[in-house]
Structure 1
Amino acid sequence: MASKSESYLHTILREYNDSPTGGLRRRQAPGPGYQTLPRMMYSMARGGMEKVIRDLWTRYGDLVRLDFGVDTWHMSMKKEHFHYVFVENRNNYIKGKTWERSRLVSGYGLTTSNTELWKRQRRLMDPAYSRESLLQFTPAIAKSVEVIARRWEKAARDGSVIDVSADMRSVALDVITTTLLGGIGEHGDELHRDIMFTMDYASPASVELPLGLGSARAQRFIQAMTRVDGVINGMIRQRRGTSGCPFHDLLDLLIHARDEDNKTGMSDELLRDEVLAAFYAGHETTATSMAWTWFLLAQNPEAYERLMAEVDQSLTGDHPTRDDLDKLNFAEAVFYEGMRLYPPGWMIPRDVALDDELDGYHIPAGSRIVLVPFLINRHPQYWDAPEEFRPQRYLDDSAAYAFVAFGGGPRMCIGRFFGVIEAQVVLALLTRRFRIEYVGVPEPKRDFSLTLRPGPLLFKVHERRAA
């Protein structure tokens, strides 16, 4: 006859096995204990993010549990998990509380919305962001590059040093301002500063105090956001009131976008949200990717020579035509490889709606999962020589499955064609005229904030041919 304690144990085990969340199969993924987490968080705060995530990966494997007491996170470095979260079971992994801060700026645009609102917005916006539609902006991109080219020409002649990181931010900001809004005239410098400050403040990676606590930076955010809304909403009202005079920019395309089912368009509020979401995504990610790409080219002279040869053979005029872009296959591959090694979205968080499992490990509802493209893109299971810069990987389809820098599934980055076109134009026009030589520190700073920003990237400029 079983003892009272044995009967109690059997009852507990039976109830646990019969539970709807999986019973004894609810294994927890490996991860650091409570005693390790404070040291880990301290290291992250002091700029040691890369070392921390690499150490966690090495010690615990492709799925790591981080239990913060009030919150549980799982960090994944596995391509199959990426596909599962973004494709197979995407409705269970949502942009929830992790993205609440971002909604302070971009409201319920594509980058922060879910379910039916997201589906409708994506249907409305997809035509404007098709490659065919975006090719019309090639001359505008070329015009923005010319500003940087004049700066590089001066540096080549007087022997001064340029910061490519700053230059790529400058050209990307000018490109998105021109192609999205047709330029912003007298509002330019102040609007740029306000948008960048508000985006940083509202980043999911931000450690700012809540707005309600009334800190000085919170007050600055409110004032900056008021100015930004005034400019953007004013432009939308002006466009609404103008007929028969298309502006030939993305805002114009979005204003005239109509749902195929009911022929309705976007409200002014949603237009404002999409403009600000596009402004940040279209500037920050491209600027970051392009800066790292130049750094990698300078470290790999064989790839740099191959790019120069392709550009010299392909460009036929002052700016790349559609036919020219179709020939710039290696330039595109160079950009992809730069994004693989330094993905601007180095980590992608999602909130877990319902209990789930990954590799037999319990993923509880209400927790968060963080996919880490920075490490997925360096995983030896998916890449040969994963730490090496090899653009030729992308000259066939062999790398397509493992490449995750643009996200995946239906929520794959809507601006991916824009980013590639812009990168091809920037690389082609500057490579045709200049060769740049890296003279900065051997290991430039990697800022693992919302995007993987580089520190200053210092180069000397050598002219290849005059304009």
Structure 2
Amino acid sequence: MNGWLTVSIIGIGGLVVFRFITVQLNRGKYERDSAARGCRPAPTLRSNNLLGTSRLTESIRATKEDRGPQYVISAMNDVGSDIHTVRVPILDYELLVTRDPENVRAMLSTLSHDYDISATRATAFMPLLGHGIFTNRGMQWKHSRALVRPQFKRDEIANLEFIERHFQTLLDVLKHMRKGNGWTEVVDLQPLFFYFTLDTATQFLYGQSVGSQASIATGRRTATGIDGAAFSRNLDAAKHFVDKRGALGKFSWLFPHRREMNRRCSEIHKVVDEMINNRIEAKHKPTLLEVEEKSRKFVLLDELLEETMNRAELRNETLHILAAGRDPTGCLLSWTFYLLARHPRVYEKLRGVVLEEFGTSATTREVLDYATLRRCEYLSYVLHEVLRVIAIIPMNERVAIRDTTLPRGGGDSGLYPIFVRKGIQVLIPAYAIQHRPDIWGEDAEEFRPERWEDHKIGWEWIPFGGGPRKCLGQQFAFTEASYVTVRLLQHFDILQNKDPERDIKLHTAIENRSGTGVKVMLHEVG
């Protein structure tokens, strides 16, 4: 027994020594390579404990308390308010965090061939989404992009008919909440917006809605038996698990809820597979397709079926687009009305613009289309400012796929390039970038849409990412959010905040949702 113990101790000691020697040899090589490139090291965000894990645990705690994006700013400011790129050692590895737009451009732009998404991101998403446009890398990603990108044509995202149909269901739900004198009771708009965007996204993708709004309002399933409310709950839970796995990074193997996550994902996959089967069957019924052709209904799945009949690929790619289409748009609508309720001046001004440009009628929309929505400047300012203040996708990331550099952040001045060795992950906190006072002004924490009157967009505003991996659904999200905002302002002349919480709670489940919901009362036009 003592012999085995001695051998074990010697073995562990040998591994420690080997690891130490390897680290020292590599460090010398990296220092030489760094010097040859004219680089200097970034400042270090040091841990507050001996294990080097305090920053990771603090970040996880902040996320649980709905202040994760704010924590990134405060942690970086601990190093220096004028320091915008830091090195963060955690146990036996390190990562970089940068809120410098120049570094963001270097990693995300078309010209960058040194960075890609990390395996950590792909691993976190895989149980839910599988291989697809948001998890694939290299040639696999190019295949996914080529498969999906042509489907997002302007004439298709400009078709607002199906959005109006689901908006009417949303309006019916709100009207059922009237309590008299034109006022609704206190209502949380956030879940209603997520049901709405789930219904429109599934209609756009599969040619049928999961009917989550109707399911909530009436308790009924769709004609095909789909429980839309249950599908929505499973999707929310699965994405929450994805976010937890991603936050653990290299230590995702410690994630304790694998069985529950797999169960939720399995339920989601069953519904998606059923909708795909329904659509394939419909394509073999000429009568139904002729009716659809006459009404010019676009279904993205039909386009994908022209390219592939691989069921796994169809499920994965449409699920990727579903997640990207439902949640960011649901968040954008939620935060828009959250902030409008707290800024009645902006609500009144925006409503005045809406009535002037689109008319006072809440029951017709003859002048409301893609082109007129895009031309409404103040509406655009409001949505841009919502995306800046909230940073709906608070964190992006890349990993160096070869030894490379970042253009800024090294040395005391921060003006020297930084050497980034192969395998180093770089976090891009959009919230921190979009709240820098030196970029946005001393009122960077304020919601002020007018700042967009003379602000030229650059890499300091990246709500949908940038470069080749920029979100394909950006224009669709803007169009849908613009449409619903205009229609609601046509119907309701007063929006009152009913949430006593003063501080913004950023509840992160990949995207930022309001941790306190969007509790308001609305007054219907008489």
What is the TM-score with the length of structure 1 in the denominator? 0.85
Give the Å deviation of 1:452. 1.0
Pair 1:168 & 2:171 matched: no
Report the residue type matching 1:199 in the other structure. Answer: K
Q: Is the 8 A contact 2:97 2:426 kept in 1?
A: yes
Number of the residue aligned with 1:415: 473
Residue 141 of structure 1 aligns to a residue whose secondary structure is helix
Match of 1:286 in 2: 329
For 1:20 and 1:229, locate their aligned partners in 2 and report how far apart those are by CA, in whole Å.
50
Contact 2:84–2:98 under 8 Å retained in 1: yes
Assess if the C-alpha contact under 8 Å between 2:206 and 2:276 holds in 1: no
* Residue 335, structure 1, aligned to residue 383, structure 2: yes
Residues 1:111 and 2:159 aligned together:
no
State the aligned residue count.
447
- 2:76–2:84 Cα contact (<8 Å) kept: yes
Aligned 1:17-416 pairs, distance under 5 A: 19-20=32-33, 22=35, 27-36=40-49, 37-46=52-61, 47=65, 48-60=67-79, 61-87=83-109, 90-98=112-120, 99-136=122-159, 138-158=160-180, 159-182=184-207, 183-184=209-210, 185=222, 186-189=225-228, 190-203=230-243, 205=246, 216-221=259-264, 223-228=266-271, 230-235=273-278, 237-238=280-281, 241=284, 245=289, 248-255=297-304, 264-265=307-308, 267-315=310-358, 318-319=364-365, 320-358=368-406, 359=408, 360-384=417-441, 385-395=443-453, 398-400=456-458, 402-416=460-474
Task: Provide the rounded CA distance (Å) in 2 between the counterparts of 1:297 and 1:52.
Answer: 25
CA deviation vs aligned residue, 1:291-336 (integer Å, no higher than 9, x gap): 1111212222332122101211222562323453244332222111
Give the whole-Å Cα distance in 2 for the aligned partners of 1:128 and 1:107. Answer: 20
RMSD after superposition: 3.1
1:326–1:164 CA distance, 2 compared to 1 (3 A): same
Aligned in 2, Cα 1:18/1:76: closer, same or farther, shift over 3 Å?
closer
* Superposition deviation, residue 226 in structure 1: 5.0
Tell me if 1:436 matches 2:486: no
Q: Is the CA contact 1:394–1:400 (under 8 Å) kept in the aligned structure 2?
A: no
Q: C-alpha deviations, 1:215-252, integer Å up to 9, x for none?
A: 54145246425524532442454356456827534334
For structure 1, the 5+ residue unaligned runs are 1-11, 258-263
* Contact 1:314 1:328 (C-alpha < 8 Å) held by counterparts: yes
TM-score between the two structures when normalised by the length of structure 2:
0.76
Per the alignment, do residues 69 and 285 of structure 1 end up closer, same or farther by CA in structure 2, a change over 3 Å counting? same
User: Which residue matches 1:424?
Assistant: 482
C-alpha displacement of 1:445: 2.0
1:99-122 per-residue CA deviation (whole Å, 9 max, x = no partner) reads 212122222221112223322332
Q: Which amino acid aligns with 2:476?
A: F
Matched residue SS, 2:226: helix
Distance 1:232 1:202 in 2: 23
Q: Distance in 1 between matches of 2:422 and 2:166?
A: 47
SS at structure 2 position matched to 1:65: strand
In the other structure, the counterpart of 1:458 is: 519
Shift of 1:29: 1.7
1:339: how far off? 0.7
Any idea what SS the aligned residue of 2:460 has?
A: coil
Q: Which runs of 5+ in 2 are unaligned?
A: 1-24, 211-221, 409-416
